[in-house]
Structure 1
């Protein structure tokens, strides 16, 4: 079959990789260069084992601080947008222990499949992407946070998750000496030795080059709509290239998923969560910059060492498709870096400020497969939230399986 994949971020490219491996003819369409959107400046963590969903029961107690504190990592700009309100209500409905446990189980299974897919690709392609399996520490600022983390670890291990352990601040510093100056600022941490990091943009660029060498066609164009008849999509209409016909279509368009869903007659519960990052060159001095990946839950900030750079990413804003970068947000990330790793970054270096839109569902589970009243030969692969890099190859394999197994996709 000829499969047209809409979207050339890490999810779309991973899908193209898995689908092309099945022998299909593949065309990838995106309005920008491969990997240049949200994939280009994300948190760089491959969090296969610690997948606690954003929507959990603890959110209720955090709401006053998250909503009204000046230094809150969460920002909500209410808009006359039914999608925003519908998503917000769905998110709050998912903030309970039962929903979080179901989501955790599904994410762990998906992440395990994704690790297998990513490692198979890496063994075959050997991309130069600053990959490291250096482990991860998730820091908690209070004793209550540590106890909640202990329960999450127990849940994950009961579901077959990787080996993890709750550690004291002293044990965390022993694992990552660069945290020494921050020892008194957190109450404990979860350590996972098997977690990884990589530069997602470099992975995207390597995938695009390899796919092109294997005959995959990349078209830079903006999709304006679809041509359909008898319950099937026949082509996508683009501004620059006209109609692009295919036998089946995979929508992997990240934060614009809801808009594409409306074009096709499907409601997709996907809304952009805006995040920011900076990327700093680091000192070579041992113990100055972290080697272990670190997530500070109090600051909602991640620190990932990618080669000789430190990627610092965080925050979640429900502000629509707004990619402006307020200086105050970048200053917050710089202040977090100074507080947690004061000796890490080269002073005066360009922080390379970046903003991206994470395509999130209320529960945290991606939407994979057919949806709503969309044509029978259209599959969706959207809604990965902050776990797009982590889950990309897992959902790509799900799409490839559906293309092989779903007879409605190939019926004329």
Structure 2
């Protein structure tokens, strides 16, 4: 039996470990933190948006980005760094900001999203949905400007239910205070919400019960040792580790670790914020998963809490909470859904989402035959986790992929 070390204990690493176990491999998981799912997976938006996978890079985004950066409460903040990797990522991102590349990437992400939806259904046998607050909530994307709404309707091609502003509020009463500023919305069935951190914890417990799971090693990977064109070991703070194959699924930390093996990963940490707010019996919290398109704010009811996620801060590997950004997001949420939760008891969080310039993850082989990648899912890590893991396990096993992987491999 071949042995695999999976580096990273977030939702991508955990699902990778599971699908590799099911494919017949012995698996060891390396996680630097004391608990799994404590990085970008901890308090993300909680939306499983399999059909709403629009890449960040698109025609017109550079001009919008300039507008956002001068807005005090805008969804984007940029801090220039003396780091060539930031500028290389930005150059590649701008090169992808055109309609043709956006359509191509969107098409590929939709295939990955559908695979992920089906794979989550397969996993339900081992990880019951009710153990991580999964709900088939549906997704409503609301638009404030008629121009943006009309453009979105033109792109639907019959997919999704087009709603007027009044119909949006009728479908989701939590939006009633926003009625005067809404132009309309698009609703999709089949989109879900869930607690990503709870999912990680439940899946980790199932891993420990698997007969081929070797356990969780707690330590930080420092260097990938290479000799004669193969990976020969992994240098960690817990000592040297050896296996037949190695999977890099460590979020933004994958960038520095890959560099020790002379692999340049086009990843950049997009810092995002979330608010977790308790819902009282008298609150009118959203039952549907809601995305405020212009403000780039996501709302999801997860159990007895409202989860709100937003913002893209390009500030390097700084995951600290910025009080001004938290205050700005809180103001926007109070304005849009004033009666949805107990905003006097907000619990804020920030995390680094490892993104590629075109928003497509990198899955599969490297120049070393026993080093594999599952990185770059960005803000859609929870959404794409199961599908990405299934593709990765198939690639290592040598199976034919369910669809062409062009655009999802290391370029």
Output the TM-score relative to the length of structure 2: 0.93
Specify every segment of 5 or more residues in structure 2 that has no aligned partner in the other structure, as ranges.
401-411
User: Which residue of the partner structure matches residue 169 of structure 2?
Assistant: 173
Residue 144 (1) aligns with residue 147 (2): yes
CA–CA distance in 1 between the matches of 2:361 and 2:355?
Answer: 8
User: Which residue of the partner structure matches residue 355 of structure 1?
Assistant: 350
Secondary structure of the structure 1 residue equivalent to 2:124:
helix
User: Which residue of the partner structure matches residue 230 of structure 1?
Assistant: 228
Tell me by how many angstroms 1:341 deviates: 1.1
Specify every segment of 5 or more residues in structure 1 that has no aligned partner in the other structure, as ranges.
158-162, 408-412
Matches within 5 A, 1:58-77: 58-77=60-79
CA–CA distance in 2 between the matches of 1:34 and 1:254?
Answer: 13
Secondary structure of the structure 1 residue equivalent to 2:301:
strand
CA–CA distance in 2 between the matches of 1:58 and 1:151?
Answer: 16
User: Which residue of the partner structure matches residue 216 of structure 2?
Assistant: 218
CA–CA distance in 1 between the matches of 2:143 and 2:71?
Answer: 19
Secondary structure of the structure 2 residue equivalent to 1:274:
strand
Matches within 5 A, 1:335-374: 335-349=331-345, 351-371=346-366, 373=367
Give deviations 1:80-135, integer Å, cap 9, x for gaps. Answer: 11110000011111111000000110000000001111111123321511110011
- Tell me, yes or no, if the aligned pair for 2:290 and 2:298 is still in contact at 8 Å: yes
User: Which residue of the partner structure matches residue 129 of structure 1?
Assistant: 132
User: Which residue of the partner structure matches residue 22 of structure 1?
Assistant: 23
CA–CA distance in 1 between the matches of 2:288 and 2:218?
Answer: 38
User: Which residue of the partner structure matches residue 186 of structure 1?
Assistant: 182
User: Which residue of the partner structure matches residue 408 of structure 2?
Assistant: none
- Tell me, yes or no, if the aligned pair for 2:225 and 2:233 is still in contact at 8 Å: yes
Tell me by how many angstroms 1:196 deviates: 0.3
Tell me by how many angstroms 1:284 deviates: 2.4
Residue 258 (1) aligns with residue 251 (2): no
User: Which residue of the partner structure matches residue 199 of structure 2?
Assistant: 203
Secondary structure of the structure 1 residue equivalent to 2:234:
strand
Give deviations 1:260-299, integer Å, cap 9, x for gaps. Answer: 221121111110000011100112237x111001111222
- Tell me, yes or no, if the aligned pair for 1:43 and 1:311 is still in contact at 8 Å: yes
Tell me by how many angstroms 1:406 deviates: 7.4
User: Which residue of the partner structure matches residue 324 of structure 2?
Assistant: 328
User: Which residue of the partner structure matches residue 396 of structure 1?
Assistant: 389
Tell me by how many angstroms 1:168 deviates: 1.0
Give deviations 1:160-192, integer Å, cap 9, x for gaps. Answer: xxx412211111111101111111122111111
- Tell me, yes or no, if the aligned pair for 1:6 and 1:30 is still in contact at 8 Å: yes
CA–CA distance in 1 between the matches of 2:76 and 2:312?
Answer: 5
User: Which residue of the partner structure matches residue 51 of structure 1?
Assistant: 53
Give deviations 1:205-260, integer Å, cap 9, x for gaps. Answer: 00101101114210110111022222111211111x21010000110011122212
Residue 92 (1) aligns with residue 94 (2): yes
Residue 383 (1) aligns with residue 379 (2): no
Residue 37 (1) aligns with residue 34 (2): no
Give deviations 1:19-46, integer Å, cap 9, x for gaps. Answer: 0011210001010121011101100000
User: Which residue of the partner structure matches residue 160 of structure 1?
Assistant: none
Say which is worse superposed, 67-76 or 270-279, in terms of deviation.
Answer: 67-76
Tell me by how many angstroms 1:60 deviates: 3.3
- Tell me, yes or no, if the aligned pair for 2:73 and 2:329 is still in contact at 8 Å: no
CA–CA distance in 1 between the matches of 2:124 and 2:82?
Answer: 44
- Tell me, yes or no, if the aligned pair for 1:146 and 1:188 is still in contact at 8 Å: yes
The two structures, once aligned, show a CA RMSD in angstroms of: 1.5
Residue 245 (1) aligns with residue 242 (2): yes
CA–CA distance in 1 between the matches of 2:234 and 2:58?
Answer: 38
CA–CA distance in 1 between the matches of 2:304 and 2:170?
Answer: 22
Tell me by how many angstroms 1:347 deviates: 4.4
User: Which residue of the partner structure matches residue 410 of structure 1?
Assistant: none
- Tell me, yes or no, if the aligned pair for 1:118 and 1:393 is still in contact at 8 Å: yes
CA–CA distance in 2 between the matches of 1:21 and 1:296?
Answer: 39
- Tell me, yes or no, if the aligned pair for 2:362 and 2:376 is still in contact at 8 Å: yes
Number of aligned residue pairs: give it.
395
Assess, with a 3 A threshold, how the Cα gap between structure 1 residues 93 and 347 changes in structure 2: closer, same or farther. Answer: closer
- Tell me, yes or no, if the aligned pair for 1:52 and 1:152 is still in contact at 8 Å: no
